[in-house]
Amino acid sequence: YIHENEEPLAFDFSCRGRMCGRCAMMLDGEPVLACVEPLTDGAHTVEPLAGVPVVKDLVVDKSQVQARIAETYKRVRVAPLTEEDIQTYNMDDADELFGINYCARCQVCTAGCPARAMSPEYIGPSHMLAVAFRHFDPYDQADRIVEAVQGGLWDCTMCGNCTAHCNQLEIDHLTIWQKLRDAATERGFVKQD
């Protein structure tokens, strides 16, 4: 039927293995990476990924959000690295740094985030991972805790939807959010009711 009656459906993909994030879409109302999401028999509804502009059919334009995230991933230094800096690398947050490196920036976590849906000024989990990455980077000298709080750290409900939707099993979102919250609380940036 589809071959005889429907125009071809536009969709985006590249890696076919959860690494590029280009195939992110909504399947039956839930954000998924199409390349690894198993389908069951029966009818399904596919829609473009929520929260980003649609180019055509299932193709979305993530360029604006990707540009903001890329800016956040840049390391900020006010002084050059010294030999002592390099020799005293702190490994306390190595697990978090390692996990965040797996992020494909697909936006599936953000599309499935109820806090982001209710509060568009909240930067969402994908962008918050970039903030966390540089917070855990001992060579970064920007105040990433202030950036996290201003980006809506306390808007997160800690529901775990980001982890449930993310195919990068190496990322422990809730531990990362809790570490950011602990650092914010330690500095007096507590949630305002």
Which residue from 81, 76, 127, 75 is spatially nearest to 100, judged by alpha carbons?
Answer: 127
In whole angstroms, give the CA distance from residue 171 to residue 191.
Answer: 25
Render pLDDT for 140-162 as a digit per residue (tens, 0 to 9).
999 999 999 999 999 999 999 99
Render pLDDT for 24-82 as a digit per residue (tens, 0 to 9).
999 999 999 999 999 999 999 999 999 999 999 999 999 999 999 999 999 999 999 99
Q: In the numeric block, which tokens belong to residue 150? A: 């201003």
**At 4, which amino acid appears?**
E
Could you name the CATH architecture of 63-186? Orthogonal Bundle (1.10)
The b-or-e profile of 8-17 (16+ CB within 10 A means b, else e) is eeebbeeeee
pLDDT band for 8, please (50, 70, 90 cuts). confident
Using DSSP's 3-state secondary structure scheme, residue 52 falls into: coil
Please tell me the total number of residues recorded for the chain in this structure.
Answer: 193
C-beta of residue 137 within 8 angstroms of C-beta of residue 75: yes
In whole angstroms, give the CA distance from residue 48 to residue 189.
Answer: 37
Task: Collect all residues with Cβ–Cβ distance below 8 Å to 56 and sequence separation of at least 6.
Answer: 10
In whole angstroms, give the CA distance from residue 79 to residue 127.
Answer: 26
Q: In the numeric block, which tokens belong to residue 115? A: 């806090």
Q: How many CB atoms lie within 10 A of CB 193?
A: 4
Kindly report the pTM of this predicted structure: 0.90
